[in-house]
Structure 1
């Protein structure tokens, strides 16, 4: 495995640089000035305040906050003034590539956990993901665990007041969103490196390319240490050989080389036409 292009990774390839560059550009040009200093949790409820015309990344728009009665983004009859839409994509997107991100968790019971505690945790897990509890949790937080909740008559009835959320989750489009990376060798360490380096790009201390080059190199150091320690056994990372980047760029799939034209002609599609992609 690898994080840098020279090992077959895509953390610092042209598509990644394009994505970070666009994020910075949009943040500086189109976001409220205070957005640059906000955390994820602070930014999530902001679209519900009524001053945001378009939110490009759904993950950072908290749906539950956006359906609160009496807010500027809701009609008096309880329907939203806003609508969810299929995720846009950039120049490097290709058919079959993921187009969104969502957190998707799972329960992990460690072998080292005392049996009585593991049994208690297992029992609690059954409670948390039970039909009744998930239906109530989803009703409040609008994040789903069970397919039965999504398909329930309750959410069929509530769908007109949720702006497209239910239609999306009942459609094949949700499969185009990638879940949280379950195969990250050390998520806490890797995430810490991500924020440090992306912060350098956002502040202008480094160019997007410099920041991503630094990020992938630091990630590879972490993975090399994990491999040498053997702590993750046969499921741990096995680092690939470093080769000329062009070897990987000439191969099919990711990583990808820089496009000659990173700004192809845009296309305007009516909302009604666009959401037909959500039909089963």
Structure 2
């Protein structure tokens, strides 16, 4: 999750100390009642015990006391995860802390445009953005993004949970800058999944036919060539199963507004474009952009050291434009 500010009124409120045991004041009793209800209503799935959860929420409330009454505006695109944040978590946070948090939901393109406008103009539109980690290089170069690693060790130390284990986050490397510091905390991930007809893959006649044509066993693909071969096999060589026309597939079965992005950050790299390396190819990433020793972009085309128009990219685009579509009546198993 990208924490981006111009007027830094938003502070990460996380636990650092547990409340001392003893008699609770009236306010603390009210806060505990709120914490107990929130745990029971919303936070059942946890590795923490119920009491540990309550104590952690109590600390959030205690740490937030200096900021009670503050108004905070954050924004994210309309994914289900972020709608939950807006409708459930933001309301729970406000009730627990007394901070008036509004988590706005707008279109993906609007998030990017607004964030770019804020970085360029210096005008404070939102206090925090949830945005793709693809933009981390832009954030760092603009110098308007908080270095979370440094902040949590210094000015945010009193508001950072000592038991916070950053290794619990999946994909943390994608929010880490070239300087080794953390600039974004993951709030959701996109998973690449391969769906297939398990019953078809288990049929001995299809296994034998595939082996005769391609010279290896039919199974879940582990490389680009196998992915292509399986799609071709079901589309061109099998063609029909139990009286129904069937297809292999290589990517999206229809046009989609996000396809321009996906051609770059998934489709082209699957064809072999870009370099190996963490997080997504170095020095040429999965968008085909080459960076220099300072992680600054220096070119996307082959003539400038990039790979966006490389043979692998051209191959991928040709396969997508002529390629295979998903079966109209699939019964897939993961």
Specify the TM-score bucket, using the shorter chain as the normaliser. under 0.3
TM-score by length of 2: 0.21
* Higher RCO (CA-CA < 8 Å; seq separation 6+): 1
Structure 1 or 2: larger helix share?
1
TM-score by length of 1: 0.24
Structure 1 or 2: larger strand share?
2
The higher radius of gyration belongs to 2
